[in-house]
A and B are shown apart, each in its own frame.
Chain A
Amino acid sequence: EAQVTQNPRYLITVTGKKLTVTCSQNMNHEYMSWYRQDPGLGLRQIYYSMNVEVTDKGDVPEGYKVSRKEKRNFPLILESPSPNQTSLYFCASSLGLAGGITPSTDTQYFGPGTRLTVL
């Protein structure tokens, strides 16, 4: 089954304790992205990756790191989490630009989300 998986789904942690949220897709997608969703603000892009070893900042990258060492995985790293990073996080992937800009290549598939609470 084609899917994007995230782990953990729920996490409660304390300020300053490094954590990693994993994201994996089995669709051979080039493009992957991380978002956070907060009430009233919608989804905001944290980082995205056009392909392996290529990552770029989104609109809210501060306090986050990512890596793209292999095509299927795009982990989100919080080196020193703070309470303002409490949020719902989504990972997403799409085919990317290799196939041109078409509805199928542009469609983003989202993971189920990770609810993070930083105390």
Chain B
Amino acid sequence: RKEVEQDPGPFNVPEGATVAFNCTYSNSASQSFFWYRQDCRKEPKLLMSVYSSGNEDGRFTAQLNRASQYISLLIRDSKLSDSATYLCVVRRLDSWGKLQFGAGTQVVVTP
């Protein structure tokens, strides 16, 4: 089983709608969580970090559920420019330098 798993999608979302998707992680020692955005195999860019129960940045909300070992990302009022692949990244407490990436969830926002 992969340490970090994501639904690959694609999630087809009408412009203005809300979309949410999850990322599950298997190692309970995981400490820090990140959502990165990647456009068409370009370099990933940080969307947000999550250290406690969640984080919110404008239209984007991340929620962490440690008991069930998943982190979600919700995008409200989707824009065409939100079309991208969203990568879930997990850092473990016992090895700060190591990072585990999910394979990504593709989101396609349609007019």
- Chain A residues proximal to chain B, CB less than 8 Å: 31, 33, 35, 37, 40-45, 48-50, 56, 58-59, 88, 90, 97, 101, 103, 106-108, 110-113
Contact = CB atoms under 8 A, between A and B. Distances in A.
Contacts of A108: 44, 46, 99
A97 B8 CA distance: 32
B41 A45 contact: no
Most buried by A among B8, B87, B96: B96
B103 interface: yes
Interface size range of chain B in the complex:
20 to 34
A113 B42 contact: yes
B108 to A, nearest CB: 17
Contacts of A59: 98, 100
A56 B94 CA distance: 14
Interface in B61-109: 87, 91, 96-104
A72 to B, nearest CB: 18
Contacts of A43: 44, 87, 101
